[in-house]
Amino acid sequence: MDRTKNPEGLDLMKKLQEGKMLSHPGIQWHYKKALHTNDYAELIDLIKRYPNLLAFAERNIALDEIQKLENPFKPEPTRREVKESLDGPIKVGKVNAWGDFFSIDENILCLPMLIAGRVGAGKSQLIVFLLKQLLQASDFNVIIPDLKREYRNLLTLSNSLKVLQNSKIKLNPLAVPEWMTPQENIHFFSQIFTKQQYLGRVSKDFINKAVLTLYRKHGIIDGGQNFPTMLSLYNYVFHEINNKKSYNYRDIMIRLQNLLFSYVTSENFNCRIGISHQVWRDENVVLEMDAGFTNEMYGFIVSYLIGSRFEYNKKNNLTGSILRTLFTIDECRALFDVNRNTYEFGDSYLSGITTKIREHGIGLILSSQETKSFTDTIKAIAFTKVCFPLTDGAELSAIKESYCLDDEQTKHIFKLKKYGEAIAIYGNYDKPFILTIPEIKPLPQLSDKDVEQRMADFYSDLDKSIKPLPPLELISPTPAGPPEEKMPADAAALLFNISHEVYTTRSQMIKFPGFNSPSQVNKAIAWLQANGFIAEEEYRVTKRGKHSLFAVLTPKAHDFLDTPSNKRGKGSFQHSLYQHLIAKRLEADGLDVAIERRIPGTDKYIDVLVTTQNGYMAYEVTLSLKNLSENVRKDLAAGASEVIIVTVDSPAQEKAIELVAKDPSLSAVLDRISFRTIDEFFN
């Protein structure tokens, strides 16, 4: 008999393997011999002498098939498999009927762990269960951006944990860390900021130039510590907008200014030097970011902290997959945004460095309600994936592919227990399995006062190192009386918006970023007016309807904002408003328009100058007839082919016509003078 081609022996080996009988000492020895020699005779003889062994195998196979009808993830990992492939010091969850835990080594977390599932399925329970163990370690630290204020309660379990309440998070990303050069920080900041704010190459180049200019102005290039801030950058952009005529470039700068606005008005960036980078490297820290942060700000801060740790480790040659800092992040959508236009904006910052951070000991536990929050790159390099029940059937195809599930296993996702049960896949194990998260006793709930008391020493130490920004003390004390109250956030926000959109009517201010109701606008207006930052004036700007209210910035506001007293135009606000309306209407007609511009080679500034192929047209805004004739003569002498006198209304126009007609010096040029009222320029 040719024993090497014995199908009976091959079928027998397959049955014994599928029937989980290879752990039997006698079968194990004969099985290995047959496997290496292709001689099945002794194995066949053994089974013939002890047929119950084969019966056990067939029973196990049949039982597995029955179990799979109920649960396609059967058979579950055996005790031997858990010990060989799923064992480590950090417990994750139970995997079989014996209550054996799937556990991992901490250094495995240098490769991302992904946790997905609907609200209330057990994601937070798993993260808390992991953190209870991870916070006991001393070889690495944990950073936890918290959008729900739930991880503060871990203070009752860990003496090493620090909690930064919202108001205690102080950052100045333009402050140069001691281990970076100014040039390195410029590149680092602009890279993260532009990617997380969806800005293009032009904006990045501009930010590089702007921050370099600010560093030179503040002496940072020469080693100074008087670091510029986000307000410094905002004001730089403000002045740049005023100095540029190109509409495309101005649009880019206006978008950049609007994005910087949320940082400027946030107390979290109101400092010259913020929390030391050493805190992010050495301490276990919860950052409570449940309020006051936009999605872009959240994404920027988290990316900035991960990136700074990465750059530090790289700069100091801290290599090897040894966990040094673990970031546990609940909401990944703002970090990766898989739907972003990568052709225009490129990948998010974290997407670009996730394949590199492992080598420098930075780990990620990433959680989301939806698997589409994770990029293909993240899913590809993740070593551990956990999926709790989902509610969206559209997610199934992504889960099936990412977790290597068959059709029946994919359908079983909807049959998982509503809470505490998940599907897991692990790089050291060859198939997916069901994971049961152990129930944990609810943690005591800590109030703000409880946190402040526990963190008193920590906050005191931080306050000693943080350097507030004097210019952002929004109202300075006056020598003649007591200090005035600090400007409320809404008032500051409105003031910055008004400085950018000077000619916005009060009714339109509801459209400003961050404002949701007229009452919110009214409250901010009232504070600014009461404290001398604005004066309300009303003017007619439509052909029908009542006058519109405008908030006119006072010298005090311009001092605070560090802006010129007139953004465009000269004289009163009404004068500059009318210049703006005229220019806006003429620009809409496709004309080449400039405010307060001179005809080349002359010294006379013209209210609104239009350049045409046939020469120059001068628009004179006339609120007073006092210098009207003189202005007209100077405009014509400067080379204007036509002068258009714009008055407030028809009665004023009649007076202007009469005055010009009576001036003998203008009698020879009356055909080059015309009259219009301002309402002709209203929309």
Tokens of residue 550, six digits: 């405008």
Q: Which residues pair with 143 in a beta bridge?
A: 285, 327
Helix axes 295-315, 182-196, angle to 10 degrees: 150
Please write the tens of the pLDDT for every residue from 562-620.
Answer: 665 544 445 688 999 999 999 989 988 889 999 888 898 888 889 999 999 889 999 99
Please write the tens of the pLDDT for every residue from 442-468.
Answer: 889 999 999 999 999 999 999 999 987
Of 235-249, 478-492, 497-511, 618-632, the range with the lowest mean pLDDT is: 478-492
Mean pLDDT of 106-131: 92
Using alpha carbons, select from 125, 160, 129, 118 the residue that is nearest to residue 143.
Answer: 160
Q: Is 136 helix (H, G, I), strand (E, B) or coil?
A: coil
The DSSP 8-state label assigned to residue 637 in this structure reads H
Higher pLDDT, 47 or 155: 155
Please write the tens of the pLDDT for every residue from 423-449.
Answer: 999 999 989 999 999 988 888 999 999
Q: Is the pLDDT of residue 474 over 60?
A: no
Mean pLDDT of 336-350: 69
pLDDT at residue 154, as a whole number: 95
Percent of the chain scored above 90 by pLDDT?
Answer: 44
Mean pLDDT of 523-533: 90
Higher pLDDT, 443 or 9: 443
Mean pLDDT of 196-208: 85
pLDDT at residue 49, as a whole number: 80
SS3 content of the chain, % helix, strand, coil (to 5): 50, 15, 35
Q: Which residues pair with 367 in a beta bridge?
A: 115
Q: Is the pLDDT of residue 283 over 90?
A: yes
Q: Is the pLDDT of residue 19 over 80?
A: no
pLDDT at residue 596, as a whole number: 87
pLDDT at residue 13, as a whole number: 79
Q: Which residues, including other chains, have CB under 8 Å from residue 269's CB and lie 6 or more apart? A: 170, 171, 172, 173, 229, 230, 231, 263
pLDDT at residue 66, as a whole number: 63
Q: Is the pLDDT of residue 419 over 60?
A: yes
Instruction: Tell me the C-alpha to C-alpha distance, in Å, between residue 361 and each of 24, 108, 140, 326, 386.
Output: 42, 10, 9, 8, 22
Mean pLDDT of 195-203: 81
Tokens of residue 184, six digits: 């390195």
> Domain map of the chain by residue range?
3-70, 172-273, 487-561, 573-681
pLDDT at residue 265, as a whole number: 82
Helix axes 295-315, 247-264, angle to 10 degrees: 90
Higher pLDDT, 481 or 536: 536
Q: Per-residue confidence at 547, pLDDT binned at 50, 70, 90? A: confident
Q: Per-residue confidence at 646, pLDDT binned at 50, 70, 90? A: very high
The answer to whether the CB of 4 falls within 8 A of the CB of 38 is yes
pLDDT at residue 221, as a whole number: 93
Neighbours of 479 (CB within 10 A): 5
Q: Is the pLDDT of residue 5 over 80?
A: no
Q: 487-561 domain in CATH 1.20.1250.20? A: no
pLDDT at residue 479, as a whole number: 36
The DSSP 8-state label assigned to residue 31 in this structure reads H
Of 273-277, 369-373, 523-527, 578-582, the range with the lowest mean pLDDT is: 369-373
Q: Is 436 helix (H, G, I), strand (E, B) or coil?
A: strand
Q: Which residues, including other chains, have CB under 8 Å from residue 250's CB and lie 6 or more apart? A: 241, 244
pLDDT at residue 515, as a whole number: 82
Q: Is the pLDDT of residue 246 over 70?
A: no
Tokens of residue 73, six digits: 């993830």
Q: Compute and round to an integer the Cα radius of gyration of the chain.
A: 36
Q: Per-residue confidence at 293, pLDDT binned at 50, 70, 90? A: confident
Please write the tens of the pLDDT for every residue from 126-167.
Answer: 999 999 999 988 789 999 999 989 999 999 999 899 999 999
Q: Is the pLDDT of residue 179 over 80?
A: yes
Of 83-92, 190-199, 537-546, the range with the lowest mean pLDDT is: 537-546
User: Do the domains 573-681 and 487-561 match in fold?
Assistant: no
**What is the CATH topology of the domain spanning 573-681?**
Trna Endonuclease; Chain: A, domain 1 (3.40.1350)
Using alpha carbons, select from 25, 1, 33, 2 the residue that is nearest to residue 13.
Answer: 33
Ordered alpha helix ranges (H), 346-437: 349-357, 376-381, 396-402, 407-411
* Dihedral sign for Cα atoms in the order 470, 473, 474, 479: negative
The span from the CA of 188 to the CA of 314, in Å, is 13
pTM attached to this predicted model: 0.64
Q: CA geometry: angle at 209 spanning 208 and 213, to 5°?
A: 120
What length is written for the chain? 683
Q: For residue 672, how many C-alpha atoms fall within 13 Å in the half-sphere facing its CB?
A: 18
The answer to whether the CB of 293 falls within 8 A of the CB of 149 is no
The answer to whether the CB of 386 falls within 8 A of the CB of 435 is yes
Mean pLDDT value across the chain: 85
pLDDT at residue 402, as a whole number: 79
The DSSP 8-state label assigned to residue 471 in this structure reads G
